[in-house]
Structure 1
Amino acid sequence: MTGGARGYWGRMQSEGRDQVADEISEEARRRGLTVAVAESLTGGMVATALAAAYAASAWFRGSLVAYSSEVKHAVLDVPDGPVVSAEAAQAMASGVRRLLAADVAVAVTGSGGPSAQDGQEPGTVYVAVDDGSGIRVQRLDLDGEPSEICARSAECTLRLLLDGMRG
């Protein structure tokens, strides 16, 4: 993919993230919910979209980018073992929800490539939403270059957060 095409792809993905983040803002304000994020694979892309959304200071509690396995284990109480897993995503969501005292939290972890991680092929992504009454996890299987996988993972994470907020 050439630089121009990659730049276009990035802008399209960013516009999609921004639109979903605006919907999250509306839902959070309408329902009086606070939101927190734990990210690994996406390295802050989800938090960036939420922080730029309307009235974010009223509902966005913050985020933790736990890129290294050690941080996931030590800070978010991810159990020993693979960090590209449903269990890790669940622990990350519940850990950041607790740490930042949020009503709803979302977490994303995965293998972006170009090599496999924890035995998971590039494009294997786990997203968890913890709303205090339970944790839902979804596995995504995405194709593309690492930058494309990260961008698509961020948008999917925002969409799953919005779905989780709506019940």
Structure 2
Amino acid sequence: MIKKLFCSTLSASFLAATMSGCAPVAETGEVACAEVTEAEIAALFDRWNSSLATLDPDQVVANYTPTAVLLPTISNTPRTDHESIREYFVDFLPNNPQGVINSRTIAIGCNKAHDVGVYTFTFTDDQGQTTEAVARFSYVYVYKDGEWLIDHHHSSLMPETVAN
């Protein structure tokens, strides 16, 4: 009975650690979670958006983990490494994109956070004409080597935009 209870407790602890995105430290069983606020997670979008304004794809890519996945708004190709993410932004940045968050929900876990919602992007062409696109977004950030980086980024146009 004690062995069964211990195994159940151990399994529950492992499942909880796995679901939270953190692995326990081997000897102590404690998890070292970075402290972060919703405002700090919201500022990660601002950091990313500011990197877009530089029009430098390398500065944008610096926001992503080496194994990040980008499911971009205006490409059918999933991007799964820095090289392919950079390739996307080489094509995207000449549109002078700038985003504004319309609504969002932030959830914080152990060394990861989710920022999901709706944003509007404004694009400016060579003649100074602007167009807008409203899209849904999700960012999954992970705390790695002392910094928060994007590990998963999905953006898609709103269905009614596509239907019209």
Q: Normalising by structure 1, what TM-score?
A: 0.28
Q: Normalising by structure 2, what TM-score?
A: 0.29
* Larger relative contact order, structure 1 or 2 (CA cutoff 8 Å, min sep 6): 1
Which is richer in helix? 1
